Structure 1
Amino acid sequence: MRHAPQIVQGSASPVASAAVDIARSRVGWFGTGLTARVMARVMARVMALSLVAMVLFWSGPLAAQQRGLQLIRDAEIENTIRIYATPLFQAAGLSPGAIDVYLIADDSLNAFVTQGGRMFLHTGFLMASETPLQTIGVIAHETGHLAAGHYIGRRDEIESAGFTAAASSLLAILAGIATGDGRVAAAVSSGGQDIALRNLLSFTRGQEQAADQAAVDYLRGTNQSPEGLLDFFRILQNQEVLLSAQQDPYLRTHPLTADRITFLEQAVASSPYTGAPIPADVMERHQRMRAKLAGFLRTPREVYHLFPRDDDSLPARYAHAITSFKQGFLDDALVTLDGLIAERPDDPYFHELRGQMLLENQRVAEALPEYEKAVELRPRDPQLLLRLAQVQVELGVEETFRAALENLTSVLAFEPNNATAWRLSAIAHGRLGNQGMTALSLAEYNYARSNWRDASGQAEKAKTLLEEGTSGWLRASDLAVVAGREAEQERERER
């Protein structure tokens, strides 16, 4: 079973810290059947899992999988979303670093926010957005919900209403990243859970109107028109005649009214930025995002419908290269990608993709210089550093093990709970004969995955192998205490 291409791994800066803070404070907001206290603990355990770049797995096109909620990660796409969202967050008075943005692999049009500063965007929505303004407009609207704390206002209702199914859905999303196995999240069925999640995330008409007004203000404050949001709402308006089960989730969770459409039409008409041309580089970045999503998540037939074979644009060739790679035609994929690299030799994501193509075809040594080039071009990107370290570990010689540890140290400086980085660190230390650091890395790895008993055991082992008083020994001592306490509480719950 091959892992999904780089699309499921990505840069971690939007999603690393807030969830861990929530976990440490033991915030729980679901409860039925289980007591609220136990449910809170379950939520906390999952949220404590590392929300960082983890490898998800797949066995074929996404459409062939069981329908569920599955997170994806990609450095390039997340960078595009960050470029769109950061000015809006700032206009709303929100700290961009405090907002976690997640991408859900789902063809439907949807976007929503939940408590804790978390925004979720469906890939179907991103691919359906023909212009950056449509994506930006929806992000502005959802930012309005975040800034107003609309999800907080529903907390009491959520806690008393018994949305166990909705809890399962959101927990499954997080578990999919934490375990590194997309099947964990994909195992969440739709049906009743979809209904519960719909109820959980729905907003009142008053809240929707307030978010619309906020979006218009944020867009004006960032010199942008709300015409993209209006375009998106008109798409949804055409779906209102459909049965609820056939409508896209956004329409079911965000009530759409004629008054809202009229308000946006007036806002578009009065905006000094309406009709302003979209810069070519901004449009290309947007089309590259759509091409990459399509190449990895859609069937070849769908890809060539969106980006015809005779389309010689850069985004189209990007999609074609990915589609050829996904179909197993490596030589064709490399020829197309090499043409892109010849045009843009300093594009880190083209080198990253070339490295991935080679790595997944067991050409590890050839993949190394591609990842090295990608990191040279974006030296502070945790995901690129992580993938470079992975290749260095797979090469399996002392020199590359040491280089991998240097890169993993950089990754962990950005993402201290990155379970994949700790696992690779354990391998590298083990091959170099550093038994104490191997045990400590395994303790960290298991702690990031909430495997408390294994974390406690490895931490105790590390204490016996590391020199007392060193930073490693002190960290092992802390882990032994915290993980040991969690393990004991886990045993008590099992009794």
Structure 2
Amino acid sequence: MGGPFSAARAAGLSLIRDAETEHIIRELSRPIFSTAGLDPDFVRILLVRDSDINAFVAGGQNMFINTGTLLKVKRPAQLEGVIAHETGHISGGHLARGEEELRNASIQQIIATVLGAAAGMAAGGGSGVMSGISAGQQFAQRNFLTYRRTQESAADQAGASFLERIGVTGEGLVEFLSGLGDQEALSGRLQDPYVRTHPLSRDRVAALQERVEQSPYYKAEDAKWKVDALLRMQAKLYAFLEQPERALARFPDSDSSVPARYGRAVAYYRVPDLVRATAEVDSLLRDFPTDPYFWELKGQMLYENGRIAESIEPHRRSVELAPNEPLLTVNLAMSLAATGDPAALDEAIRILTAANRLDPTNPSAWYTLSSAYGQKNEIGLAAWAAAERYVLTGDLRGARIQALRAQQLLPVGSPGSLRAEDILAFAERRDER
């Protein structure tokens, strides 16, 4: 199901989609983007399921953050510092090299390109490998790393300025980088990717430290809502990503905090122990009846345990409480479509069409729309929606097959037929590369 937590897999990589996590990061990043002169609605943050610490920008205004980074930051200011630093790369125009190529690539291709470059840098750091590299290649690599270090320092300074303008301490960024500093001495294979793609140095950290100490907000406290949001997000991520028994050990029954109760609810759901999971989430809903993400989790639990009809109301409630979160809308549509009821299918198609206008990049939404059209025997529209999904997952062969099918079945000049034509043209351009 598309939520509350799902992953789109491609080429051995996973992109995490979770409405709550994305909402929290948007709330933290929006003021940073705005003060940097960027439109927050056009900067896309994507979550990569990877336990390593890393974050990078690529392919235009796409910012990628590993789940390992989200789990390992100690305070909101550290995460804000990472976001501000990466924003410095965007605003500083550090992405010009190969930008057009990356802009036209799929998100999965962008990740593979950037992580592949990081792996290459790590391999190049070993003396055995370096001995086999030509002098010209070594010179080029040194120049590249010098160029990157200059960019990193510039992004540090820009990020510190952005944080100061919005009244946030830059101390978090210093803490984050200082925590990674010891990895400089490690073999590239042992380093977190962040160190490999963001060259560190003592001088760089010292210059950043000097800059942020001048800010009137240097010792500013993290806002309580940010602390609470980070702890909730981390508990949820940990419970979904780690083995349930590890999560239950981390969040024992003796811990009555909201993050611990949330983590236990997720862990029990994954055991699966629906009785205990439902008891935990119901206790949260009694205390927080207007929290859309607790309602979302309850709907998810019921849906994935085959209680489709019962899952509709919790999902509907989550959408009512957060109507501008398209991932929540997709959850509701999935429950509706799974009933097979004609009226429910019509509602699913209607709300999925609206959700795809807000976020056209969710493969699960297009899959569900294709399924709903198929159940209504509207095969041409089902093929068009399937083609959209295949484009997003990087399966150009599947996209081409479904787009041709849609063209054959849909009226010439109809929206679906025209979009199928666009998909075929896109696939042809990709083949020519």
TM-score, length of structure 2 as denominator length: 0.83
Residues 443 and 206 (structure 1), Cα distance of their counterparts in 2 relative to 1, 3 Å cut: closer
Residues 462 and 340 (structure 1), Cα distance of their counterparts in 2 relative to 1, 3 Å cut: same
Could you tell me how far 1:84 is from its partner in structure 2?
A: 1.1
Could you tell me how far 1:143 is from its partner in structure 2?
A: 0.8
Counterparts of 2:158 and 2:167 in 1: how far apart (Å)? 14
The range that moved more, 236-245 or 107-116, is: 236-245
Residues 486 and 92 (structure 1), Cα distance of their counterparts in 2 relative to 1, 3 Å cut: closer
Instruction: Look up the match of 2:240.
Output: 296
Could you tell me how far 1:328 is from its partner in structure 2?
A: 1.0
Instruction: Look up the match of 1:70.
Output: 14
Contact 2:381 2:416 in 1 (8 A): no
For residue 174 of structure 1, what is the amino acid of its counterpart?
Q
1:98 and 2:42 are equivalent in the alignment: yes
Contact 1:322 1:333 in 2 (8 A): yes
Could you tell me how far 1:266 is from its partner in structure 2?
A: 2.3
Instruction: Look up the match of 2:108.
Output: 174
For residue 102 of structure 1, what is the amino acid of its counterpart?
L
Task: Write out aligned runs for 1:467-482 (5 A).
Answer: 473-479=413-419, 481-482=421-422
Residues 227 and 316 (structure 1), Cα distance of their counterparts in 2 relative to 1, 3 Å cut: same
Contact 1:443 1:457 in 2 (8 A): no
Contact 2:383 2:406 in 1 (8 A): yes
The range that moved more, 335-344 or 417-426, is: 417-426
Residues 104 and 171 (structure 1), Cα distance of their counterparts in 2 relative to 1, 3 Å cut: farther
Could you tell me how far 1:194 is from its partner in structure 2?
A: 5.2
Q: Among 89, 110, 119, which residue is 1:195 paired with? A: 119
Counterparts of 2:159 and 2:432 in 1: how far apart (Å)? 48
Task: Write out aligned runs for 1:2-21 (5 A).
Answer: 6-8=4-6
Aligned residues: 408
Larger relative contact order, structure 1 or 2 (CA cutoff 8 Å, min sep 6): 1
Counterparts of 1:148 and 1:85 in 2: how far apart (Å)? 17
Q: Among 186, 192, 198, which residue is 1:242 paired with? A: 186
Q: Among 390, 393, 405, which residue is 1:458 paired with? A: 405
Contact 1:77 1:289 in 2 (8 A): yes
Residues 446 and 235 (structure 1), Cα distance of their counterparts in 2 relative to 1, 3 Å cut: closer
Q: Which runs of 5+ in 2 are unaligned?
A: 125-140
Task: Write out aligned runs for 1:292-371 (5 A).
Answer: 292-300=236-244, 302-304=246-248, 306-371=250-315
Contact 1:56 1:176 in 2 (8 A): no
- 1:89-118 deviations in whole A, cap 9, x for unaligned? 111111112212111111111111123112
Q: Which runs of 5+ in 1 are unaligned?
A: 10-54, 58-66, 160-166, 178-184
Instruction: Look up the match of 1:429.
Output: 373
TM-score, length of structure 1 as denominator length: 0.74
Could you tell me how far 1:421 is from its partner in structure 2?
A: 3.1
1:155 and 2:98 are equivalent in the alignment: yes
Could you tell me how far 1:411 is from its partner in structure 2?
A: 1.1
Counterparts of 2:92 and 2:343 in 1: how far apart (Å)? 52
Counterparts of 2:21 and 2:119 in 1: how far apart (Å)? 29
The range that moved more, 137-146 or 270-279, is: 270-279
Residues 377 and 240 (structure 1), Cα distance of their counterparts in 2 relative to 1, 3 Å cut: same
- 1:222-253 deviations in whole A, cap 9, x for unaligned? 11110100111121123334333222121222
Residues 411 and 206 (structure 1), Cα distance of their counterparts in 2 relative to 1, 3 Å cut: same
Task: Write out aligned runs for 1:27-176 (5 A).
Answer: 68-152=12-96, 154-155=97-98, 174=108
Residues 172 and 459 (structure 1), Cα distance of their counterparts in 2 relative to 1, 3 Å cut: closer
Backbone CA RMSD of aligned residues:
3.3
Identity of matched residues, % = 37
SS of residue in 2 equivalent to 1:272:
coil
Residues 132 and 305 (structure 1), Cα distance of their counterparts in 2 relative to 1, 3 Å cut: farther
Contact 2:2 2:331 in 1 (8 A): no
Could you tell me how far 1:217 is from its partner in structure 2?
A: 0.5
- 1:151-179 deviations in whole A, cap 9, x for unaligned? 22x439x99xxxxxxx9xx97962799xx
For residue 475 of structure 1, what is the amino acid of its counterpart?
P
- 1:378-397 deviations in whole A, cap 9, x for unaligned? 11211111110110010111
Residues 56 and 399 (structure 1), Cα distance of their counterparts in 2 relative to 1, 3 Å cut: farther
Residues 392 and 56 (structure 1), Cα distance of their counterparts in 2 relative to 1, 3 Å cut: farther
- 1:167-225 deviations in whole A, cap 9, x for unaligned? 9xx97962799xxxxxxx8xx9x9x7752376899662211111111011000111111
The range that moved more, 438-447 or 390-399, is: 438-447
For residue 149 of structure 1, what is the amino acid of its counterpart?
G
1:210 and 2:154 are equivalent in the alignment: yes
Contact 2:248 2:267 in 1 (8 A): no
For residue 379 of structure 1, what is the amino acid of its counterpart?
P
Residues 320 and 172 (structure 1), Cα distance of their counterparts in 2 relative to 1, 3 Å cut: farther
